[in-house]
């Protein structure tokens, strides 16, 4: 039985294969999304949001709605979560793991869970809302060993 461990935040992630006893971690892949660290001004264009005309009222005047701009940082966080979810799905379809442990900063864990398809979500048996991306493998083992 193979378990994958994803340790992530909105700009960085590491994927490990784990062995049970003694608990060991083998780094499979590292991911980086530097756009998540950029300032909003660096991510967005100078263009304002746009106004969409949707219909005409009974008086002949056009009716519409202002399209609310998306926060560029939120957009980048969601893009990174989707990228990681896709990678986890590819691993699942290749039968590379049977169980999944997700460890991520609280907000990013929520985004990641939203992006997981139902098959990957069923394999995610452990969810930890902590940002452990700065920890080395030995420290990760100490933090996570009691959970698995």
Low-confidence ranges of the chain (pLDDT < 50): 40-53
CB-based contact 15:32 (threshold 8 Å)? no
β partners of residue 40: none
SS3 at position 119: helix
* Residue 17 neighbours by CB distance under 10 Å: 16
SS3 at position 76: helix
Say how far apart CA 8 and CA 140 lie, in whole Å. 12
CB-based contact 22:55 (threshold 8 Å)? no
Q: So what's the pLDDT on residue 56?
A: 59
Q: Is the dihedral of CA 13, 17, 19, 24 positive or negative?
A: negative
Q: So what's the pLDDT on residue 42?
A: 47
- In the chain, DSSP assigns E strands to 3-8, 12-19, 24-32, 51-56, 62-66, 99-104, 124-129
Say how far apart CA 33 and CA 13 lie, in whole Å. 9
Q: Whole-prediction pTM value?
A: 0.76
pLDDT in tens, 73-103: 889 999 999 999 999 999 999 999 999 999 9
Chain-centroid distance, C-alpha 132 = 14
Q: So what's the pLDDT on residue 58?
A: 61
Q: So what's the pLDDT on residue 15?
A: 98
Q: Is the dihedral of CA 81, 111, 38, 44 positive or negative?
A: positive
């Amino acid at each position: 039985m193979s378990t994958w461990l994803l340790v992530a935040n909105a700009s960085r992630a590491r994927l490990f294969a784990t062995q049970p006893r003694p608990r060991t971690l083998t780094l499979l892949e590292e991911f980086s999304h530097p756009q998540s660290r950029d300032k909003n001004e660096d991510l967005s264009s100078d263009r304002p949001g746009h106004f969409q005309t949707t219909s005409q009222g009974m008086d002949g005047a056009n009716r519409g709605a202002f399209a609310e701009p998306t926060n560029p940082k939120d957009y980048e966080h969601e893009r990174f979560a989707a990228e990681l979810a896709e990678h986890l799905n590819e691993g699942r379809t290749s039968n590379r793991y049977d169980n999944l442990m997700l460890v991520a900063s609280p907000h990013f864990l929520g985004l990641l869970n939203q992006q997981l398809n139902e098959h990957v979500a069923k394999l995610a048996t452990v969810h930890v809302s902590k940002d452990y991306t700065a920890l080395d493998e030995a420290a990760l083992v100490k933090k996570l060993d009691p959970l698995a």
